[in-house]
Amino acid sequence: MISFNNFFLQGAGLTKRYWVKLNPIVYIVFGGLLFANFLIYNKYIWLLDIAAAGFVWHYLNLLNTAKRVAVNVKARARVFANEPFELSIELISKNRSSVTIEVIPPVIIKKEPVFITLQPDKREVVTFTTAFGTRGIKKLGAYSVRIKSFTELFSIYITEEINSDVRVLPNLEEADASVERILEMLPVLKSKYKLAEDISYIKNIREYQNEPMNRIHWKQSARMDKLMVKEYEYSGTAKNYIVLDLNLPGGIYSKEAWRYIHKKYQEESIKAVAGLVKHFSERHEKTNLFISHSKGIYDITDSDYVFFFDYLSEVEGAIDNNNSTTELLEHIIEGVQPTDTVLVISMFLTKEEVEKLIRLRSRCGRVLVLLMPYGYREATTKKFKSYFDVPVEIRELYKFARTLEEENIIIQIWHENTSLVEGLLKISGSEM
């Protein structure tokens, strides 16, 4: 499991609010006493007035006690979906005596309050552990600290909004070995640009085959009792383009009927892309990620895959959208180079995209189209009986499959019962 160990610290006092919750009997007693002071004037009323003044003094004293309690919140700013998330609330008392405090976490944490006894000048940390089941930006909301009166007639609350949000990143679908086989299988056009080896990264160690002496790995050679040489990563003009269309294609007529299926496709395609960008990043390959979503198109380039995850955590596709896959392909077609690889991920394509794909292929080395009309089966899930068939719109694409293969454009369609790895292995097993 990948872990991001960055934290945010929310200091106390920024949006802190003190308020009191009174027992209903207090309203009745004080209302009756106020009314009695206008009608009756005797020693019993005086005694009740003194008792009321004592109650007010106790309230002000407890309020002052609450103000001498410092509170800080500490939590991770990023976490994966279903990964344990800890919210720590630190309390320090500046009071001269111990204080019994009830710590109430934000509603989103879904945990019961915790009671602690806070000693003078002592630090106590209360930690709540939960998990977020879905990706996205989660607003933590407000926590509360409650100090209860010994009379049981009122309580002082310290409430503070946690201004920082938690970015829940998508989980990734591992498919490194399958991707490696596919990229090695697909031929690349020869380019006039020469690729340079990057000696900072050793890709592999293999047996000597008449290479220059400076490539020999002497330590491994001594260990293996035969000459071994180093293979380096390439740092040239080659780049991987991942094109992810999260919107429901415009060619679908009954959009509401596809709402649930579209949601499934969206979450699973994002997990697939997360696995791909991590794989390419660890190979030190340049990657461009294009995402078509409800608010437009993201064009993301970075060497650190964590940056890609930030975008993948928040994007949402649209049922009714103005951006088509054709426009998305047009967006990158002028920028690709002869050594580049383009992976297109969509629910499905129609004949309008065929021309764009052929034009795209004429400008780059590889085009691989991954169509997931129903998403895919998770690797940890066993095969099940499926009643879904390939949509009519996709069947039209079969007519163009042979033409696209002749242009070195590989298309793989995932059925509901096919895992991501199984679909990728089908590609690597196909004949070119």
pLDDT tens digits, residue range 109-134? 999 999 999 898 888 999 999 999 99
Predicted pLDDT at 132? 93
Give 126-150 as a 3 state SS string.
EEEEECCCCCEEEEEEEEEEEEECC
* Closest to 274 measured CA to CA, from 82, 84, 420: 420
Mean pLDDT of all residues in the chain? 80
* Closest to 167 measured CA to CA, from 267, 78, 274: 78
Tokens representing 47?
A: 């005694």
Assess whether pLDDT exceeds 60 at residue 278: yes
Predicted pLDDT at 216? 80
Predicted pLDDT at 129? 94
How does residue 233 score in pLDDT terms, banded at 50, 70 and 90? low
User: What's the DSSP call for residue 83?
Assistant: S
Decide: helix, strand or coil at residue 291. Answer: strand
How does residue 280 score in pLDDT terms, banded at 50, 70 and 90? confident
Predicted pLDDT at 13? 40
pTM for the predicted model, two decimal places:
0.74
Predicted pLDDT at 191? 39
For range 141-149, the mean pLDDT: 91
Contact 191, 236 (CB under 8 A): no
Contact 228, 213 (CB under 8 A): no
- In single-letter form, the type of residue at position 244 comes to L
> What pLDDT, in 10s, does the model give residues 176-199?
656 666 665 555 444 333 344 555
Higher pLDDT, 292 or 351: 292
Top mean pLDDT of 19-23, 45-49, 211-215 is at 19-23
> How far, in Å, CA of 249 to CA of 320, rounded?
9
Predicted pLDDT at 398? 67
> How far, in Å, CA of 273 to CA of 11, rounded?
37
Domains in the chain: ranges and CATH: 7-169 (2.60.40.10), 176-190+236-429 (3.40.50), 197-234 (no CATH)
Predicted pLDDT at 195? 42
Predicted pLDDT at 329? 83
For range 306-335, the mean pLDDT: 82
**Four-point Cα dihedral 245, 251, 256, 257, nearest 10:** -100
Assess whether pLDDT exceeds 70 at residue 10: no
Predicted pLDDT at 186? 54
> How far, in Å, CA of 33 to CA of 181, rounded?
85
Q: Is 189 exposed, middle or buried (0-12, 13-18, 19+ CB in 10 A)?
A: middle
Predicted pLDDT at 193? 36
> What pLDDT, in 10s, does the model give residues 361-383?
888 888 888 888 888 888 777 77
3-state helix, strand, coil in the chain (%, to 5): 35, 35, 35
Q: What is the largest CA-CA distance in the chain?
A: 114
Predicted pLDDT at 269? 93
Predicted pLDDT at 388? 63
Top mean pLDDT of 26-35, 240-249, 331-340 is at 240-249
> What pLDDT, in 10s, does the model give residues 250-270?
766 677 777 888 899 999 999
> What pLDDT, in 10s, does the model give residues 61-112?
999 999 999 998 988 888 999 999 999 999 999 988 999 999 999 999 999 9
Predicted pLDDT at 424? 83
Assess whether pLDDT exceeds 50 at residue 218: yes
Residue 409 neighbours by CB under 8 Å, 6+ apart? 357, 358, 361, 367, 368, 369
* Closest to 183 measured CA to CA, from 271, 283, 291: 283
Going from the C-alpha of 270 to that of each of 251, 293, 313, 360, the distances in angstroms are 22, 12, 9, 23
